[in-house]
Structure 1
Amino acid sequence: MKIIFMGTPQFAVASLDALIKAGSDIIAIVTAPDKPAGRGKKLSESAVKQYAVENGLKVLQPEKLKAPEFLEELKALKADLQVVVAFRMLPEAVWNMPPKGTINLHASLLPQYRGAAPINWVLINGERESGVTTFFLKHEIDTGDILFTEKVTLTGKETAGELHDRLMQKGAGLLVKTVKGVESGRYNEHPQSALLEGVELKHAPKIFKEDCLIDWTQSAEGIYNKIRGLSPSPTAYTTLGDKILKVYAATFEIVEPSIQPGAFFTDNKTHLKFAANDGYVYLTDVQLEGKKQMDIGAFLRGNKL
């Protein structure tokens, strides 16, 4: 099959690389336009574009996916199948173009955690299972018929960064399996509606800065899950005086706190703990506004509280 691959970040690169190594005929990739980044505002290429250029692949970077010139260029390529990994929402004119359709890799066990940030929300909610899913695209986002899934067990301690890397590799393998299945016709489609009966649906919307603020009136474990679910990015934070303190890692204990939620205690050496509603959260890796990220010992040596 002739395949067009659509993706942007590093998560998608693993899948593109796996498809190429498995012998798939990638005739073009579609990725985000170059964007100014850093202090010098130099144009930055997406991870997928960098990989594509290094491997001599044709690159398309449309500003608008409905632009007539882009649709004509896509049509002229005559792809049999399109593969989407961590890209953006496609108009029907794009996803409905190839005769074999468009498949998507999603970093959750659909229908749970549909949306832009499944890896983060799975951990924030303290789940003990996650995984990857491939499915055919249709009108509503992340609702298409499921092709294949692969589960992973969670420990309750991993960060979003660590789960990202696990699912990136799991997803790459699952995508190769899916493409081979579509090519040979050996696959079954499972409507997501069949999996929804009597199930509470959990969502994974895009995360904004206000979502990252720690609410110390919550449970200690809930705060701990939020910290690891947002680490290393976009990062949970609290305030210390008039400055923002990002929190990358923490531990917690359940015990009757002797101070009000949000108040903190420190020995100014190795411990900085904040009270939650049912215990304490010990910060272990932080970054004060305007400073570098550091472990709590280094932070306390430089910032007497």
Structure 2
Amino acid sequence: MGNPDKEQPAATHRSTDADGPPAYTSTASSLPDAPPYEGPATGQRRMSTSSSVEEEGPRKPGKIPGAINSYWQTSMSRTFHLGEHRDAPLFAVKSGSGWTTKKPGLTIFDGPNSSDYPMLTGATRASMFGRKYDISLPPLANSGSSEYTKETISIGTSWSRQVHKFTIEVESGPKGETRREDFEWRSTRGDEVRELGSKWLRGWKLVRLSSEAFRGPGGERHARDEGTTSDGKEIVAVWAHNSSWSMTKAFKFRFRGSALAGELGERFDLMALMTGLNMWHQEVAASAATSGAAA
């Protein structure tokens, strides 16, 4: 048996492209097929009431709460909800096939249904082998633009394991200043996932790679500070699968550290949630395809 404290890479479909993983790039350009961004829907800006779903804790400022679940409407529906509780949906999500570079595989709407609220963010496959995804985001504040912009998340390797990397603006001053920082999702079975509940046994942690995120020497789990990676970086979010593969609650997401405190800003919040949700959606789609082929 393996060492339970050692992080294990999640099962995933890898490209057999002879060139290996693509170099990571991030761009910010207008998406010609995206509608003009009209700002948050009236009355839809919310404050979190807990740091984790169905548990009391500190409040997190911003549109996205500190912890959020996915809730399927029916087992056959391509639309599901995100929220702290099933009976109080915050956002509607429409899922596509996820296998085309033409249309979004996932779209999050700025309210509880897709017909009355505008798109908040979306994920579209940017490479045929699924090693890059374009994430549509509202324009930067004070940019003077009304068009959505694009950021890219890429699959790469770090220390012989798969990681999902992206760069995004984070808040860096009291007057709305921003700077771009690098982040990566790493697979984990650590305490961060177990804290989500006994059913959440495998997931991914979002690591802040900048020097501002250095928290100490790292090391083995028993020796390092809570919320710190083995290389001394800060963990700012985590998501996990429900091990029972419930069709009503299958995905759980939680901010941590500086992200839970609202210090990184709403643009980071959107990117973190969308990339985590898209990774989960692709794993579910791949699992369903494998099950269908076996049948």
TM-score (norm 2): 0.26
Q: Of Structure 1 and Structure 2, which has the larger fraction of its residues in helix?
A: 1
TM-score (norm 1): 0.26
Determine which structure has more spread, i.e. the larger CA radius of gyration: 1
Structure with more contact order per residue of length (Cα contacts < 8 Å, sep ≥ 6): 2
